[in-house]
Structure 1
């Protein structure tokens, strides 16, 4: 049997240790390497800038403030130049007293008692119809802020306290909604929304009480009045809805007339 010399053994051992150390350094380097996001796109020469209409540019050709792309929490957003035909369904949230009196993204002072909203992409001053899909209530708001930036894969709009209260979501905090821009969309004529609307006046646990109120409303000329049955948390309710109104503004007028005897009345879209 031939034994290697001590010198050769030491050399081989040293070579192996060297290789292991090098491999360890490479692996530790890969494990500690941090991801560096690419820098946000510049406005000059970008496709967003190239497609900007005149109203989105300054006299020098640059994008106006609220039309510029912006980055929040590593995500870059490119605001839209038009809201014509915009429709979206998702979760709405609302923000109130902690932001009351502070500046919004377009420079206005946030007033939680006005009907406003924050959207990540729609142009400022966009008027929206928001419908609470959980109870049918609707409200009109104007976009004057950016957001929401929490749970962005689900939340689509942040409403003011006043708007949230009108939709009946001020206590729940969140609600599933559908939003429509009140611009050049199907059903919009001279700033009004055509469709099928009712005014809900009450929800009863006794069907006989609901029928009594519905009969009174029909006698007053609301021939399209209906009773809608709904199950909420294991309980059955009969909702009385006066109608039918062919536009949102007519439904609002109807609500104003009926609210004297039914303070909790609100508009329902169908």
Structure 2
């Protein structure tokens, strides 16, 4: 029995920090064994109140109790850093996709349907169908951009206030008013080029984009 306990202790030491093991060894643990046998352990001294075949089960219960004590104290202490790291990683990923370069992009444009009128946008304002509000997945909120319909050459400046559209190949959602001016209401979508004019930067500054020169002409 002593040899078994010694071997078990060595295995536990490989898994449990020494300081935690010392703490566990100094605690008195009572374990109910089969047929009424009880083991009372303090330090390295074990006292068996009665010899019985249930000792093996008692030893297993003791080991489970020790591991339970370790897991309930050691693991919770390690959880916050892991959670914080995950949250920090997620936050970093959220900001990493923003395109602050000011470079133009081509794709499809669509416009807000009636069910979105007056609904709150990503910047906290309500969607006004008569405004120049627009949505982009990658441009920072507050970006001003020139949207050009590549089918007819019509263009309008919009302000990015929302996130979307979440449909493949679409890069911007515009208001119904802007859609009318661009001539894309008939088909609902149109190929466009989006040239940022003013792009808010992470440090609070504003960077001129590819559409800035065209705006000043």
How far apart are residue 84 of structure 1 and its match?
Answer: 3.6
Q: Say whether the 8 Å CA contact 2:196–2:212 is kept in structure 1.
A: no
Aligned runs of 1:2-151 on 2, under 5 Å? Answer: 42-44=86-88, 46=89, 49=92, 69=94, 78-80=96-98, 83-150=100-167
1:170 to 185, 189, 193: 185
Q: Distance in 2 between matches of 1:79 and 1:113?
A: 29
CA–CA distance in structure 1, aligned partners of residues 116 and 211 of structure 2:
35
| In 2, Cα distance between equivalents of 1:187 and 1:122 | 14
Q: Is the 8 A contact 2:104 2:210 kept in 1?
A: no
Distance of 1:100 and 1:180 partners within structure 2: 26
TM-score (norm 1): 0.42
Q: Which runs of 4+ in 1 moved over 4 A?
A: none
1:188 deviates by 2.4
Residue 179 to residue 113, structure 1, CA distance change in 2 (3 Å): same
Aligned partner of residue 128 in structure 1, secondary structure: strand
Q: Which has the higher contact order (CA 8 A, sep 6+)?
A: 2
The residue number in structure 1 matching 2:215 is 193
* 1:106/1:135 CA distance change after superposition, 3 Å: same
CA contact 1:83–1:126 (8 Å) conserved in 2: no
**TM-score if structure 2 supplies the norm length?**
0.51
Q: 1:101 to 1:134 in 2, by over 3 A?
A: same
Query: What are the superposed Cα offsets for residues 155-180 of structure 1, whole Å, 9 maximum, x if unpaired?
Result: 11111111111101112100000000
> What CA RMSD, in Å, does the superposition of the two structures yield over aligned residues?
2.4
Stretches of structure 2 that go unaligned for 5 or more consecutive residues are 1-84, 199-207
Which structure shows the bigger proportion of residues in helix conformation? 2
- For 1:67-95, what per-residue CA distance to the aligned partner results, in whole angstroms no more than 9, with x for missing partners? x72xxxxxxx8541x53422100111111
Compare CA radii of gyration and give the structure with the larger one: 2
The size of the alignment, in residue pairs, is 124
> Which SS does the other structure have where 1:114 is aligned?
coil
